[in-house]
Structure 1
Amino acid sequence: MQKFDAIRPYYDAEVNQALQRVVNHPMMKALMDFSFPDLPDQEWKDHLTRTHSIRDFQCNFLYHSVQRVIERSSDGFTTSGFEKLEPNTSYLFISNHRDIILDTSLLNVALFEHGLVMTASAIGDNLVKKSFLLALSKLNRNFLVQRNLPPRELLMSSKLMSEYIAQLLLRENRSVWIAQREGRTKDGNDMTQQGVLKMLAMGAGDDNLMDYFKKVKIVPVSISYEYDPTDALKMPRLIAEANNEIYIKEKNEDFMTLLSGIMGQKKRIHMHVGDILDTEIDGIAREFDNSNKQIQALAQVIDDAILSHYKLWPTNFIAYDLLHNTNQFADRYTEEEKALFERRLEIRIDEDNPIAFQGFLAMYANPVINKMKYENAV
């Protein structure tokens, strides 16, 4: 449908032509050299130019790229909950947001390995301004979230995106990934923005709102990294906000954050997919007849699912104890793990800047604080 042309990924019929255009791009060579270090250039070029679908590109190329990232920048990627999902079934994955590229790439690796439908995934158009990155995102089944629009255009863009998401889920049987909020979490507090749910609600059309949210099969996703590779990069924004200043991004900041997120050290990574929100949505429908109240309640249900299944690491407990000057969680980490974290803090943060120092610790400690709200969750 032409109405979605401004935001949609490539159709399979467009994939080969797109690959022919980028096969000789220096960034494609860098990506392939990273993914297949022992393969001669001509071999991967020949394979690329014989590729005619997004699935083939993802499975034969990007899957290996993500495996190399896991191998090079982490101590392993574990998952839980995927066995509850059905094959040949589309889901709306609503996830906490740690990394621009990897959150959705890791989800697709897990879905692929479990024989499940992979996702079309939302990505901000500010992140793919370079033509190669735009082509790569469309080859990876990303659809564009249009940023920085005037209010009227933003409303129209939200409506278009909600219709496209509904089309993917209900007509094309394609799963969708979307972050619970705009932009990555800067302070470790994972909270669903009601605006995201209101955008999704626009796709309901004539359906009852809660019936629609049941129909699209919402699955909350919790992703956690032992180390956040972009932790120090988040501090300038936190400092500006603490000083009531407007934060202005550096030129190419988004791109540099993207690279740091992919290649920076994460240690262990865990992803949990929760249960489909079904009885919870029925409960909301019974309790509230006002759509705003329903969306507010749904945001809380998603938060509860994400936070209660969030995997806490030694770094989270160390940061909590340092922040609160306590040994409450000393049994959750070793002295060596504590020394490594303190060294990271010392290298990355100026201890004479209390906002940055406290902000860095809080980013790691807040998941512990949030999870303590749930009985027996910590």
Structure 2
Amino acid sequence: MSKFDEIRFFDDSEVNEALLGIARDPMMNALMSFTFPDTDKKVWREQFKNIHSVSDFQHNFIAHTIRQILAKSSEGLSTSGFNKLDKNTPYLFISNHRDIVLDTSLINLVLLESGLIMTASAIGDNLVQKPFLHDLAKLNRNFLVQRGLPLREQLKSSQIMSEYIDQLLHHEKRSVWIAQREGRTKDGNDATQQGVLKMLAMAAGDRSVIEYFKTLKIVPVSISYEYDPTDSLKMPQLLAKHREEEYIKGEDEDFMTMLSGVLGQKKRIHLHAGNVIDTGLDAIAVESDNKNKQLQAVARIIDDSIIKNYKLWPTKYIAYDLLHNTSTYADQYTEKEKQLFVRRLEMRIDPSDPVSKEYFLAMYANPLINTMKSGNHSSE
């Protein structure tokens, strides 16, 4: 028994048995029918018998699934920054988080097609309650973040996850992806939670936080969807917060959100890999030896990179102008793009409710507003 057994993904030696175990699940049938619409299920079930590693499964099946998702629900994926990364170096990718399944899946597709080391990726255990999803996640190199634990158990769980990430990066030479915060950003304000960095720092041992973070080779990633396929699904939680009410998720809400994220229209998508955070860390160490202040400073560096490199699609400018009843950014979009966005708004929320309308528009406008605040914005 390893101390990581409760959270780790499948070893290659476990892959074949696990895959054959879910091969006849109706959800696997649906997934493969979507991925290979013209292929009889006997064909892919037979091919499953020859899959003996996570890499085999990702290369031969999941990569095709993600390409199909892009073909059917987007107008294409563009990237920048990944060409600066070294093919033999494991990195800790920390990104903004908008979609449960796609964020990490798209990053891994880009890494695969760029010949870079693919990631082990963190996923909340609340999202994989169904046995099929649990096994599929572990077949796809996802490790589990344990949610909803009592405080003492939560600390222990964070310590184990920190050590596991350290083990993956430094001993198994495996890149890792984690979101900059627990849960997805609902309001468009991408900000790194200090608690995420505190968890990572638990494995530092006798080293200073800054010295340890240098070894992690942190790469901030900016993920920008032109349309958020789950925008309307985020509204009830935002409105509950506005009314200062507790929000309680429905029984299958996470699963429906995952499906909507995969199948919903996204239009264009852009991924940017920022520079490895290393040189800026020395300046932090000089400025303060207070651990909390150092973590705050690291969070700011990650946030600055994610905001600076966020691709501002026309929807962000349209939402800003509608939110502020202005035409400040009218040169950044066409009338047709504006009409399509307004139609989307009217179909997905009650446009006669000013609060709903404001929150929906702010969700799209906030990345632009944050870019303006950071001083990195140019309207060229």
What is the TM-score of this pair, normalised by structure 2? Answer: 0.98
> 2: CA distance between counterparts of 1:64 and 1:377?
36
The DSSP-based 3-state class of the residue aligned with 1:156 is helix
Aligned counterpart, 1:194:
194
The DSSP-based 3-state class of the residue aligned with 1:122 is strand
Residues 152-196 of structure 1: per-residue CA shift (max 9 Å, x gap): 111111111000000000111000000000000000000000000
Alignment of 1:1-378 (within 5 A): 2-378=2-378
**Count of paired positions:** 378
> 2: CA distance between counterparts of 1:121 and 1:295?
22
Residues 338-373 of structure 1: per-residue CA shift (max 9 Å, x gap): 000011111111123222110000000000000012
> 2: CA distance between counterparts of 1:207 and 1:93?
21
The DSSP-based 3-state class of the residue aligned with 1:219 is strand
Q: Which amino acid aligns with 1:362?
A: A
CA apart distance, 1:144: 0.2
Q: Which amino acid aligns with 1:319?
A: A
Unaligned residue ranges in structure 2 (runs of 5+):
none
> 2: CA distance between counterparts of 1:212 and 1:79?
29
Runs of 4+ that moved beyond 4 A: none
Q: What CA RMSD, in Å, does the superposition of the two structures yield over aligned residues?
A: 0.8
> 2: CA distance between counterparts of 1:42 and 1:12?
24
Q: Which amino acid aligns with 1:243?
A: R
> 1: CA distance between counterparts of 2:50 and 2:343?
49
Residues 46-83 of structure 1: per-residue CA shift (max 9 Å, x gap): 11111000000001000000000000000000110010
Contact 2:319 2:364 in 1 (8 A): yes
CA apart distance, 1:203: 1.4
CA apart distance, 1:377: 2.8
CA apart distance, 1:375: 3.5
> 2: CA distance between counterparts of 1:36 and 1:285?
52
Q: Which amino acid aligns with 1:237?
A: Q
What is the TM-score of this pair, normalised by structure 1? Answer: 0.99
Residues 216-258 of structure 1: per-residue CA shift (max 9 Å, x gap): 1000000010000110111111111111100011110000001
Q: Which amino acid aligns with 2:284?
A: I
The DSSP-based 3-state class of the residue aligned with 1:267 is coil
> 2: CA distance between counterparts of 1:203 and 1:120?
17
Q: Which amino acid aligns with 1:184?
A: R
CA apart distance, 1:374: 3.4
The DSSP-based 3-state class of the residue aligned with 1:116 is coil
> 1: CA distance between counterparts of 2:239 and 2:45?
46
Unaligned residue ranges in structure 1 (runs of 5+):
none
The DSSP-based 3-state class of the residue aligned with 2:373 is coil
CA apart distance, 1:376: 4.6
Contact 2:117 2:175 in 1 (8 A): yes
Identity across matched positions, percent: 64
Contact 2:308 2:376 in 1 (8 A): no
> 1: CA distance between counterparts of 2:375 and 2:135?
46
Contact 2:120 2:175 in 1 (8 A): yes
> 1: CA distance between counterparts of 2:52 and 2:282?
42
The DSSP-based 3-state class of the residue aligned with 1:9 is coil
